[in-house]
Amino acid sequence: MNSRPIGVFDSGLGGLTVVRELAAAMPGEDILYLGDTARVPYGIKSPLTIQTFARQDSAFLLRHGPKMLVVACNTASAAAIDMLRASSPVEVIDVIQPSAEAAVRATQGGIGVIATEATIASGAYQRSIAALAPGREVMAVACPLLVPLVEEGRDDDNPILFHVLYDYLGGLQRFRPGVLVLGCTHYPLLSEPIRKVMGPDVVLISSGQAAAMEVQRRLRESALANPRPAGGTLRCFTTDNPERFAKLGERFGQRKIDHVELVGTDELEKGPVS
């Protein structure tokens, strides 16, 4: 069981920022990654549709026998985590609860959250933080243009990028949080410009780091960690365009991605959880 892979899924490429943190923290673990690029983005869609897609993504990964599932997508974590946990034979780690815990630990002050429309509308971050630190001030802001901006690959000093960031983050600048949670796996690619806009005193928390620590802790507690100190592999599946996945994926994952396997969405829709 210890040598089985960790299964990770995301609506697209963003989850590779989580994979990067997992591999950095646990270099001996094998990772299976599914990016549902045919149906990306999830963040503008309804809870019902996100739940359907998340169930199919999980079922696909479960057919490959992982020892743990990681929902690397904030939107899917917000809409579907309870449903996924109820039906999964292995433990399911989300990105929201670990990020909320890291945020509460990192500051006594207010907490800012930026994420997709669907994640913010779900109230999942607000609820997680309220449960951990009742009465803590939270400001949550939906930033729909940031995902397409990251995918366009504009430079860190691009003026459009700064106009958009000042537009979305104006209220958060005035709120002066101790911590800003980057509640979408695309946003770590904007860490530098976000830091410039928010100033050096605001701690940025990325879902990937927080989730990787949680995965490591849970694998140790359940004695499922791979004893190898290194040599973990990454096997990638995508529902659209393996070439684009490999090319853009290197920017998100900061590693070479050699081989990406195409999976049709019809294949995702066909099978029950094994």
d(CA 202, CA 271): 45
Range 154-171 burial, b when 16+ CB lie within 10 A, else e: eeeeeeebeebbeebbee
Phi, psi of 33, rounded to the nearest 5 degrees: -125, 130
**Footprint (CB under 8 A) of its own copies, residues 61-90:** none
**Footprint (CB under 8 A) of its own copies, residues 105-164:** 144-145, 147-149, 151-152, 159-160, 163-164
The answer to the question of residue 207 lying near its own copies (CB under 8 A) is no
d(CA 149, CA 159): 12
Among the listed residues 52, 111, 98, the one whose alpha carbon sits nearest the alpha carbon of residue 76: 52
The answer to the question of residue 273 lying near its own copies (CB under 8 A) is no
Catalytic residue among 32, 184, 210, 219: 184
Nearest distance, CB of residue 153 and its own copies, angstroms = 10
184 is catalytic: yes
Span near its own copies by CB under 8 A; candidates 41-49, 72-80, 96-104, 204-212: 41-49
Nearest distance, CB of residue 167 and its own copies, angstroms = 5
Residue pair 55/36 in contact (Cβ under 8 Å)? The answer is no
- Toward its own copies, which CB reaches closer, 144 or 178? 144
Residue pair 66/8 in contact (Cβ under 8 Å)? The answer is no
Nearest distance, CB of residue 142 and its own copies, angstroms = 9
Nearest distance, CB of residue 107 and its own copies, angstroms = 30
The SS3 of residue 100 is helix
Catalytic residue among 59, 71, 73, 149: 73
**Footprint (CB under 8 A) of its own copies, residues 217-246:** 239-241, 244
- Toward its own copies, which CB reaches closer, 41 or 188? 41
d(CA 38, CA 137): 38
Contact residue for its own copies among 1, 3, 24, 46 (CB under 8 A): 46
The answer to the question of residue 216 lying near its own copies (CB under 8 A) is no
Amino acid at 127: R
143 is catalytic: no
**DSSP-assigned states of every residue in 61-80:** HHTT--SEEEE--HHHHHHH
Token digits for 42?
């999830």
> What Å distances lie between residue 165 and 52, 128, 162, 179, CA to CA?
32, 25, 5, 17
The answer to the question of residue 170 lying near its own copies (CB under 8 A) is no
Q: Which residues bind its own copies (CB under 8 A)?
A: 37-40, 44-46, 48-49, 52, 144-145, 147-149, 151-152, 159-160, 163-164, 167, 239-241, 244, 264-266, 269
Residues involved in catalysis:
73, 184
